[in-house]
Structure 1
């Protein structure tokens, strides 16, 4: 079953009287419960695509359906997004930041249960009373992910959420993303400019360049993946060749 269907999607921007095409006739289907990586150079349209999917931008042409045509008001309930920066509220604790999407819709006992489930899953229980300024960057990114998981969207969008982290914390969080994906059966769309990261995480890698899809490459490797394996290296070289040839 398809969780997300994108048809003939285009997006134009007007910059000082000059029309710039950020996305050009994008067609993409995302299966329910799948992990899809979108990889491409900076400025290729990756972030614009995510913004349109979650409703922060309006497409110029085309349509997006979440399995079936939905009302625009339903989109906020179906889609959650994790940005490159954690975007936590500095005056709230870790626990309060994660609970924030729930406080208007749930009773206190239910909020407590949901938040502490993900505090425990993400290894944040002992830091629940800390403020954002008191935790590391990797920990703050886990809080941002936990906040999205508490909201329980059908589709989780990730816009280069690990771009600012060192190699050790990056790999640690990559593995946590995989754990969450496998345990929660969420549909995840992960945007990155790092080809190796795209292969390490995705069941499918979508290669985007100059606003158009160059290819969709299935990744048959199981989790957790060895970046030194022949198949991993073959996939990396295939994607790099595509991006370097444009």
Structure 2
């Protein structure tokens, strides 16, 4: 497994001759096998940071490097595996649930291995009964689970999530939050989860990063066991502290 070290990261855009800064001097350590949530208002730079980490955007300045507990892995893996789950499931409508999840394994010629991997995550995510269904035949919550299953089949070292629950109703959102925690505890993946929901950030994250106008303005370690009670005094105390920073 891998973590990330981000140093002095900056990103600016040129819009009709005007330089617009999206990220400013971002310094962040994301330890391996950790769950980090990034929270902030719309336009604060959360998504831009994820896009740079996964290679969809290039930074203007600064560095991102992978870190390992086992230095031998650093020499072994020159190409690190990072995958991103978007707010929209982005499934291929002409493929079944099972085929969508198997898609990242298309280059694997061992059919039995592919079948075993896909069925492991179909069962884990409660999708076995819907494996032959097409995206148009399943709910939004199920589609998001398929998207997550596709990522898990790819077996990345780091999973990035860009507000993956933003379009769901409260019931499905709560259910999938628990699924994310289960997957994190079982698979020991490094997860970076972007949200604008403070409650969600506290419920999921071991570390919370608060962003505003392209800056990191607060980092908070959450010393609470899973699964967390959002009505507890400690939860509400952390929430009020974060909201003061975000709304200041």
What's the secondary structure of 2:146's corresponding residue?
A: helix
1:202-241 matched pairs, under 5 angstroms: 202-241=205-244
Task: Tell me if 1:142 matches 2:148.
Answer: no
Say if 2:102 and 2:150, in contact at 8 Å, map to a contact too. Answer: yes
Poorly superposed stretches of 4+, deviation over 3 Å: none
Matched residues in 1 for 2:109 and 2:148: separation? 20
Matched residues in 2 for 1:235 and 1:64: separation? 29
Matched residues in 1 for 2:142 and 2:14: separation? 38
Q: Which runs of 5+ in 1 are unaligned?
A: none
Say if 1:36 and 1:206, in contact at 8 Å, map to a contact too. Answer: yes
Say if 1:154 and 1:186, in contact at 8 Å, map to a contact too. Answer: yes
Task: Tell me if 1:5 matches 2:8.
Answer: no
Residue number in structure 2 paired with 1:88 = 91
Say if 2:108 and 2:114, in contact at 8 Å, map to a contact too. Answer: no
1:29-178 matched pairs, under 5 angstroms: 29-67=29-67, 77-178=80-181
The CA deviation at 1:2 is 6.6
The CA deviation at 1:105 is 2.6
- The alignment's TM-score, normalised by the length of structure 2, stands at 0.95
The CA deviation at 1:145 is 0.2
What's the secondary structure of 1:4's corresponding residue?
A: strand
1:189-208 matched pairs, under 5 angstroms: 189-208=192-211
Q: Which runs of 5+ in 2 are unaligned?
A: 69-73
Matched residues in 1 for 2:159 and 2:3: separation? 11
Residue number in structure 2 paired with 1:21 = 21
What's the secondary structure of 2:99's corresponding residue?
A: helix
What's the secondary structure of 1:188's corresponding residue?
A: strand
- The alignment's TM-score, normalised by the length of structure 1, stands at 0.96
CA-based RMSD: 1.7
Matched residues in 2 for 1:105 and 1:83: separation? 25
Say if 1:38 and 1:198, in contact at 8 Å, map to a contact too. Answer: yes
Matched residues in 2 for 1:19 and 1:95: separation? 45
155 and 2 in structure 1: CA distance in 2 versus 1, 3 angstrom threshold: closer
Q: Deviations over 1:162-204 (max 9, x none)?
A: 0000000000000000000000000000000000000000001
Count of paired positions? 243
